[in-house]
Structure 1
Amino acid sequence: MIKSTPYVLVLLLAVLLSGCGEFYKLEKSTNWDELYEAANRYYDQGDYNKSIILYDRVLPVIKGSGKAELAEFNYAYAHFRTKRYIESAGYFKTFFDTYNRSPMAEEALFMHAYSLYLDSPDYNLDQRSSREAVNSIQLFMNRYPESDSYERAISMIDDLQKRFEEKAFEESKMYYRLTEGLFPGEFYRACIINFQNFAKSYPDSDYNEELAFKLVEVSAAYAERSVFDKKEERLKQSIEFAQDFSQKYPESSFVKKVENIKSKTTTELESHYRLKEQYEARSAEARKLREEEERNQAATEALRNTEN
């Protein structure tokens, strides 16, 4: 048995060389029927790279003929099977646009969307291609609402929406971290806008409770560091955020912290009112003195004009 091993290897090598020789001849062939049959055969055997090479040669020749439909469909799938998802998405879409009445049109449109879905990146990367995938899936669902693949399409959209949510949450945390820097002013404002937009975009997100707490926290810090003219407005806003939080999440583990922030902010607002009252009183007194001085100057000027 051991002695027969070299002969087995030689036989396998001969078979491989024979296969390579056959494919090499096909690459050089101009017999389009032979190329078409060989491309389909390699595809059926799962040798997708060879089938792609042969389809590349034969497709321009058979375009518009009865053979083209199956060849173009297999060509798109061959790219999909070799995980060339961007290419397969394009070829499936081209197939659908060309053969939209074909029995394979529904599958082609789904595979266009599915290819884009598989190519979409993780949540921490740029999600523009994921949004393109969502649009393509939605197109399929609108076109084929009774499709057997409809539920699968919904699950794909749900998964992509989750990635968008994770991406948005990571961006929110990034803004929050930036408020710990030396110049946090603009980042406080960016946080407030970002947290509010997140809640609007993802009203059912599990992250809303945490971000609602951070909204109270950040808005209080922003108000505390604000210039006098903006302080009252921002302190009131922070108190409103705290009240909204308590109403929405009465059982939250953040409630005590929120109440402490609200209490501190309310005290600061009351202090601000006293300062504002004192400031307005001093301003009124200064205005009164200035007006009296202006009247005295006017009277003195009038007396000089009379004397002259």
Structure 2
Amino acid sequence: MKKVIYILLPLILLSSCNDFQKAFKSDDIALKFEKGTELFDAGEWKKANRLFEQIVPNYRGKPQAEKLLYMHAMSFYKTEKYFISGYQFERFASSYPNSEKQEEAAFLSAKSYYYESPIYSKAQEETTKALEKLQIFINSFPNSEYLTEANQLIKELDFKLEKKAFEVAKQYNRIYDYKASIKSFNNFLLDFPGSELHKDAMYYRFLASYNLATNSIDALKEERIQEAVNYYNIFKKNYPNSEYLKTADDLKKDLETTTSVTVANNTKS
């Protein structure tokens, strides 16, 4: 019995391949629609897409157009061509506002843009665009079955923007531009008050201010040390049990020692 199955399987696959090639080369748009639908239902997204691409213009305004455009968009989505699927689903949703697939299409359009969002270290224009699309979806379908997932996607994208801003601020500290680092961390704390990186940002802001103070000329040291101590106090008040506190305490003691030396030097002068 197994031998029969092994022999039949290649024949079935060959027949299916021949059917696809026949439909692909044919001028019969009905045959392409039928075979494309069959391949779509079987999960053969790439082949289905190739057939749909040939006939979409021919079905505009026809009763079958709604089904075809939905399958066309989904075949792009399933083959991970998210830039195109985002556009195609958006087009479907606006073209068929009364379709039973409209809500799903609107969500998958927004989700396609989510997939186009790059890693946090790259430029985040696509992330911002995805956030806008997801928010539009939530506003349009506040009771959607996809609402929980949409909110989770927004949370992930928001964190990506937070991580980007946080790492930029840290990078300024690494390249010794301490003023820019402090300013960036201040902006971060204002822009993302509920961020899970809030504690880290407060600590690294203090670290940047410590570095600025200890590397300043004597004329500026006292004022900058006081600013650093203020940032330390804010950090400690908000996170008294932080894993950073031991290091922060040591840096603060160093600031106090530096202050004494600076005051003494200024007095002599």
In structure 1, the gaps of 5 or more residues are 179-183, 280-308
Percent identity among equivalent residues? 29
Displacement of 1:145 in angstroms is 0.6
Displacement of 1:156 in angstroms is 1.1
Q: Aligned runs of 1:50-129 on 2, under 5 Å? A: 50-129=47-126
Tell whether the 8 Å contact from 2:169 to 2:182 is kept in structure 1 after alignment. no
CA distance in 1, matches of 2:240, 2:13: 72
CA 1:22 to 1:224, structure 2 compared with 1: closer, same or farther past 3 Å?
closer
Displacement of 1:35 in angstroms is 2.3
Match of 2:239 among 232, 235, 249: 249
Tell whether the 8 Å contact from 2:49 to 2:76 is kept in structure 1 after alignment. yes
Displacement of 1:238 in angstroms is 1.3
Q: Aligned runs of 1:254-273 on 2, under 5 Å? A: 254-266=244-256, 268-269=258-259, 272=262
Tell whether the 8 Å contact from 2:170 to 2:204 is kept in structure 1 after alignment. no
Matched residue pairs, number? 269
CA 1:78 to 1:231, structure 2 compared with 1: closer, same or farther past 3 Å?
same
Q: CA RMSD in A?
A: 2.7
Tell whether the 8 Å contact from 2:171 to 2:181 is kept in structure 1 after alignment. no
Displacement of 1:9 in angstroms is 5.5
CA distance in 2, matches of 1:84, 1:256: 49
Matched, 1:195 2:181: no
Displacement of 1:278 in angstroms is 6.1
TM-score (structure 1 length as normaliser): 0.76
Letter in 1 for 2:148: E
CA deviation profile, 1:109-151 (whole Å, cap 9, x unmatched): 1000112223433434443322222111111001111111111
Q: Secondary structure at the match of 2:133?
A: helix
Q: Secondary structure at the match of 1:100?
A: coil
CA distance in 2, matches of 1:79, 1:272: 67
CA 1:123 to 1:11, structure 2 compared with 1: closer, same or farther past 3 Å?
same
Letter in 2 for 1:258: A
CA distance in 2, matches of 1:245, 1:132: 34
Partner of 2:24: 27
Matched, 1:177 2:174: yes
Q: Return 21-30 or 249-258, whichever deviates more.
A: 249-258
CA 1:265 to 1:19, structure 2 compared with 1: closer, same or farther past 3 Å?
closer
Displacement of 1:256 in angstroms is 4.8
The structure that has the greater radius of gyration is 1
CA distance in 2, matches of 1:46, 1:259: 61
CA 1:152 to 1:261, structure 2 compared with 1: closer, same or farther past 3 Å?
same
CA distance in 2, matches of 1:147, 1:191: 42
CA distance in 1, matches of 2:225, 2:67: 68
Q: Which runs of 4+ in 1 moved over 6 A?
A: none
Match of 2:157 among 156, 160, 163: 160
CA distance in 2, matches of 1:17, 1:257: 69
Displacement of 1:15 in angstroms is 3.5
Q: Return 50-59 or 227-236, whichever deviates more.
A: 227-236
CA distance in 2, matches of 1:257, 1:52: 58
Partner of 1:216: 206
Letter in 1 for 2:52: Y
Q: Secondary structure at the match of 1:251?
A: coil
CA distance in 2, matches of 1:20, 1:215: 62
Partner of 1:147: 144
Letter in 2 for 1:230: L
Q: Secondary structure at the match of 1:19?
A: helix
Tell whether the 8 Å contact from 2:59 to 2:65 is kept in structure 1 after alignment. yes
